[in-house]
Chain A
Amino acid sequence: MDSRLLLLLIILPLTGGVLNACFGCRLPRQMRALLAISSVLASFVLTLICWPLAADGGTQVTLFTWLKSSGLQADIGLFFDPLAASMTLMVTGVASLIHIYAAGYMEYEEDQARFFALLNLFVFAMLCILLADNLLLLFLGWEGVGFCSYGLIGFWYQKKENALAGRKAFIVTRIGDLFFTIALLWLFALLGTVNIAEINLRATELDPLLITPLVLLLLGGACGKSAQLPLMTWLPDAMAGPTPVSALIHAATMVTAGVYLLCRLFPLVSLSSVGMATIACIGAATALYAASCALEQREIKRVLAYSTMSQIGYMFMAVGVGSVAAAINHLLVHAFFKALLFMGAGALIHLAGGENDIFKMGGLKQKNPFLFWLFLIGILCLAGAPLTGGFFSKDAILLTAFSRGDGLSAILWGVGVFTAGLTSFYSFRLLYLVFFGDYRGDKSAHHLSPLLIWTLPLLALLGLFGGLINLPHFYGGSEMLSHWLGVAPALELPLPTEIGLLALMTLFFVAGWLPAHLFYRKYQPEAETPWRRFLLQGWRFDALYERVILQPYRFVANFCWIGGDKALIDGVIEGIGRTLLHWGGYFRQLATGQVSFYLQGFAWGLLLMLGWLLLKAVT
């Protein structure tokens, strides 16, 4: 097979995006959506066709040289290996479904061309991240998804808050990107290359002392994109964007880029035990933090946003405890069921007449039972109900943490299990509030395009059976994904331990579900308490950052301008000017215009000169 086919993978969405951006406004309405859908769908089909190229160490292909200077060579070059292939298949597949869904969701929107252009460009940039063979191209994708996310969060730009949310997302993730940039610069200075495969290969040459800071820098970059502590504040606000965007960018793909980066550079990352521990701790802390916030959210998409953050925390934990397969497995399964949940939520918001407060929903089960069952599958996966895809993938992560046996891993495992309980609780809280009881809203349902429903069943199936991708031997599986990725399969634990853990996980699932059933099965208004507000506002991190970072930033800015430029520099310059003018004023007084005065000056001058000559002659 011609390896150049791979290039089409990124070129197709790019072309779709550029065409829509440049000529979209001249195309007929349906053409815009059709163009966007077909380009992504073609990419998906192409991934399937190219699949064999990923085997046997992968395939490398170069389009042209992007940047070349002394010692530096960065190509527009792709590397298609099992890791990249799995991710590409997921991204193009989910993106295709979401594009189709979006055609229904955005049917009556103005500015469809802009929407689909950005959506296509996003897929292009995301594929650049996945397929790049060097860090600079990866960075191009990295910033590209950031920009598309910015443009799409603020898609309804006429509301100021939407555009501000987009800007926040861009700048906060860019803070993470700074760390990534520094890591890139440093790696180039040390190894003289930006090629990913070469960096991985030569990672062991590096001074062990330098690896830890390098890994921490990479982690910083990953945290920004994947909304992990402490750079997580942008994700809940990002829900201001249209729902397909939230599903695609802020649940299934872009936010997992951080996890992917760490997996991509795993040979380097795994060399630093401190770095790995930090990754795992950040993951566990975020998982817990986000789950706690999700408990009290009122907007349906914000609940899901915090749950995404929390689930990505699990993936970080998986990387940190050394299991790439578990991380990627959870990433894939999560992408399926979270896209399902978000797209379901979009349909629900339409059903509730544009309302997104779950306390004003309720009783939607009667309105559309089919949607209820689909959403239920998503919720079960998220909550980790036994035998769903979410259960297996989460279980694998916790199992790996447990089997490592050291103190830190035990704590991580504990946090993970506890968070699983919380997850189960807030998932069912959401389900009960939205679907059960009576309809509490006052808006009438919008028309629901069939595309909004019929794209979901496939995702539901994938989510439900996603566990099969990497089913451990314990359940009679063969750990397909681990073999495919070429990483070590999970450790085998003794049978009683395994059964005990399984029982424990099931117990926590039930322990989360039961209180949710008791409190929310029948709706009752909740009193607002300070504690609730604290969780609702995400532990008030926004307020903290406002005071610690933004206010000082503005203060320094004003200080530089008024104190520095205006007062100091211009003050000195204009001061010099004024002083000269002042002196000039004195000298001007000498020009009186009276001949007698000038003659007087002449005489005095002559006298002085003569005196000086006389003095010189004497000495």
Chain B
Amino acid sequence: MTFVSLTELPILSLILWLPLAGTLLCLLFRHSNFACRWLALLTTGAVLVLAICLFVGLPTAPGWLIREDYAWIPTFGIRYSLALDGISLLLVSLTAVLQVAAVLISWKQKEHPALFYALVLLLETGIIGVFLATDLILFYLFWELMLIPMLFLIGVWGHGNRVYAALKFFFFTLAGSLCMLLAIITLYLIHGEQSGIYSFALESLMQTQLSPGIEMLLYGGFLLAFVVKVPLFPFHTWLPDAHTEAPAAGSVDLAGLLLKTGIYGLIRFAFPLFPHAAQQSLPLLAVLALIGIFYAAWIAYVQTDVKRVVAYSSVAHMGFVILGLAAWNQLAWEGALLLMVNHGVTTGGLFILIAMLQDRTGSRDLRALGGMWKTLPFFSAFFLLFCLASLGLPGLSNFAGEILVLLGAFGRWPVFAALAAAGVIFSAAYMLRVVQGVLWGPLGQLCKIGDKDCLHEDLDRREWLLLIPLALLVVWLGIYPTTILEPLRGPISLLLQGGGLP
């Protein structure tokens, strides 16, 4: 497909609504487990193909690459406007990849499969919508749309303490996003009074003249919504519960994608709309990020549930991302966005592996597991690879992002960057503890040698299919990150210069 034909189709709408169509079809064919499963795979696969076409076909230019803009509710100046630049392209691609993975990992879903896949697809529409919308009401709509499928995914298909976790997740994010809604409406009214044109378009709202006090207040509303989602210390406590209790697909989506919507919101909406307030908030963000890196790493070290360790590691990694954003320079931002993508792949991979582990042994408890290399060598090799990527081994994905963040941050806050570098030791400490607990040592208490239940099957064909591309991605992003640094460069420098829009 050439670039020309790409732009002639309403490809953004296609990519956005395709999963929703999948949702509806899933509900239609709800009696056939088989049909739903394949429908979900086909839909996510189609989105992936479209995303890859876009990624390959589009040039790496700074501004918007594709736009779609139609009137929607003219009375209130609400428009259906979608736009795609290098950053959103990358995140849409990440979404497409991880959603295929999410469907494949829940292939054997037994309870209400139709509903489950329908919700996963609905979630995909929500996430892609967030990455594409440039009208604030449209954005808010998608922002809230993500919440509902996730709530049910955790609440219905989750593990042990699922209702508590689902509600906690729901209320945390809802509280944040309501603040944002208030801020959006206030901004809309102020802008309308000033210019006489009532519009929710990001580009128009950026022109609004705000007094410093009001700007700070509105920025606070946006910030709250986004940092809860990221999550930044001390708004993170919903995350370990939600990650741990969510089903595998839910954890993959939460860690891989939902957290990224927070970062995306910050750089696309919060910073450009309120540039002065954003500048003032940077030291605070940096300090919170730094606290988060250590605080979360420390807590991760004493967890016994593998999933909880990985959940807390997400908080620590997101700390690195926020630190990079707070450094406010090209190097650090490129690193932060790269790390964001890398974290999506590695953590997504880890959650997938943990789901496989739980399928086989029925446990995620580090005290009970052990010696898996003996019984599941291939699984273990992948597990080791993803753990190493997560602890930032150079040559694998996370390192590239982390070192760019540190190099960039050192230019602005040497002491913070030096401290953050120490966070790398902490991540080695908890990640190696996981490796130790799962792979090494004698066979865990769950298994006695010669026990028949203990002879688990190593990876099957579907699992190989799932893990190999992710593993290749981890290595590829580690040794040749240029692939995604290139498309990021232009958009980032635009955002940094104007604090503005492409």
Partner of A158, one of B329, B374, B407: B374
Those of B284-301 within 8 Å (CB) of chain A: 295, 298-299, 301
Contact A68 B485 (CB under 8 A): yes
Question: In the bound complex, how far is the Cα of B240 from the Cα of A181, in angstroms?
Answer: 30
Name the residue of chain A whose CB is nearest to the CB of B303: A561
Question: In the bound complex, how far is the Cα of B298 from the Cα of A71, in angstroms?
Answer: 34
Question: In the bound complex, how far is the Cα of B232 from the Cα of A45, in angstroms?
Answer: 54
Question: In the bound complex, how far is the Cα of B168 from the Cα of A577, in angstroms?
Answer: 10
**Which residues of B are found within 8 Å of A181, using beta-carbon distances?**
406, 421, 424
**Which residues of A are found within 8 Å of B295, using beta-carbon distances?**
560, 564
Contact A144 B429 (CB under 8 A): no
Q: Mark B441-458, 1 if CB is under 8 A from A, else 0.
A: 110000000000000000
Contact A188 B410 (CB under 8 A): yes
Partner of A170, one of B411, B428, B482: B428
Partner of B299, one of A67, A158, A160, A561: A561
Answer yes or no: B432 CB below 8 A from chain A CBs: yes
Contact B485 A186 (CB under 8 A): no
Q: How far is the CB of B434 from chain A (nearest CB, A)?
A: 11
Q: Mark A151-165, 1 if CB is under 8 A from B, else 0.
A: 000100111100110
Partner of A171, one of B374, B381, B421, B425: B425
**Which residues of B are found within 8 Å of A68, using beta-carbon distances?**
482, 485
Contact B394 A154 (CB under 8 A): no
Contact A64 B421 (CB under 8 A): no
Answer yes or no: B418 CB below 8 A from chain A CBs: yes
Answer yes or no: B256 CB below 8 A from chain A CBs: no
Q: A71-B331, A565-B237 are in contact. Are A185 and B374 (CB under 8 A)?
A: no
Q: Mark A48-83, 1 if CB is under 8 A from B, else 0.
A: 000000000000000011111111100010000000
Name the residue of chain A whose CB is nearest to the CB of B301: A557
Contact A182 B418 (CB under 8 A): yes
Contact B403 A136 (CB under 8 A): yes
Partner of B436, one of A25, A167, A564, A573: A167
**Which residues of B are found within 8 Å of A144, using beta-carbon distances?**
393-395
Q: How far is the CB of B262 from chain A (nearest CB, A)?
A: 18
Those of B29-50 within 8 Å (CB) of chain A: none
Partner of A186, one of B377, B381, B414: B414
Contact A185 B407 (CB under 8 A): yes
Contact A67 B440 (CB under 8 A): no
Answer yes or no: B422 CB below 8 A from chain A CBs: yes
Contact B485 A557 (CB under 8 A): no
**Which residues of B are found within 8 Å of A69, using beta-carbon distances?**
330-331, 334-335, 404, 485, 489
Q: How far is the CB of B412 from chain A (nearest CB, A)?
A: 10
Q: A71-B331, A573-B237 are in contact. Are A163 and B421 (CB under 8 A)?
A: no
Q: Mark B400-420, 1 if CB is under 8 A from A, else 0.
A: 100110110011001001100
Contact A557 B418 (CB under 8 A): no
Contact A182 B421 (CB under 8 A): yes
Answer yes or no: B480 CB below 8 A from chain A CBs: yes
Q: How many A-B residue pairs have CB under 8 A?
A: 135
Q: How far is the CB of A567 from chain B (nearest CB, A)?
A: 11
- The listed residue with most A CB atoms (<10 A of its CB), out of B371, B377, B421, B481, is B421
**Which residues of B are found within 8 Å of A499, using beta-carbon distances?**
none
Those of A172-225 within 8 Å (CB) of chain B: 174-175, 177-178, 181-182, 185-186, 188-189
Q: Mark B239-251, 1 if CB is under 8 A from A, else 0.
A: 0100000000000
**Which residues of B are found within 8 Å of A175, using beta-carbon distances?**
425
Contact B440 A154 (CB under 8 A): yes
Contact A167 B432 (CB under 8 A): yes
Contact B414 A188 (CB under 8 A): no
**Which residues of A are found within 8 Å of B120, using beta-carbon distances?**
none
Name the residue of chain B whose CB is nearest to the CB of A162: B440
Question: In the bound complex, how far is the Cα of B410 from the Cα of A144, in angstroms?
Answer: 24
Contact B439 A157 (CB under 8 A): yes
Question: In the bound complex, how far is the Cα of B156 from the Cα of A305, in angstroms?
Answer: 57
Contact B424 A174 (CB under 8 A): yes
Answer yes or no: A448 CB below 8 A from chain B CBs: no
Contact B388 A147 (CB under 8 A): yes
- The listed residue with most B CB atoms (<10 A of its CB), out of A69, A160, A564, is A69
Question: In the bound complex, how far is the Cα of B404 from the Cα of A171, in angstroms?
Answer: 22
List of 5 A-B pairs having minimum Cβ-Cβ separation, nearest first: A163-B440, A140-B394, A157-B440, A70-B330, A185-B410
A selection of 21 A-B contacts at a CB cut-off of 8 Å is A64-B480, A65-B482, A66-B480, A66-B481, A69-B330, A69-B334, A69-B489, A70-B334, A140-B394, A143-B394, A144-B393, A147-B393, A159-B442, A170-B432, A178-B422, A178-B425, A185-B407, A189-B414, A553-B429, A557-B298, A573-B168
Binding site for B on A (CB under 8 A): 21, 25, 64-72, 76, 136, 139-140, 142-144, 147, 150, 154, 157-160, 163-164, 167, 170-171, 174-175, 177-178, 181-182, 185-186, 188-189, 553-554, 556-558, 560-561, 564-565, 569-570, 573, 577
A163-B441, A167-B436, A170-B428 known; 14 new pairs, CB 8 Å cut-off, are A65-B482, A70-B330, A72-B407, A143-B395, A157-B371, A171-B425, A178-B422, A181-B421, A185-B410, A185-B417, A186-B410, A553-B429, A557-B301, A565-B237
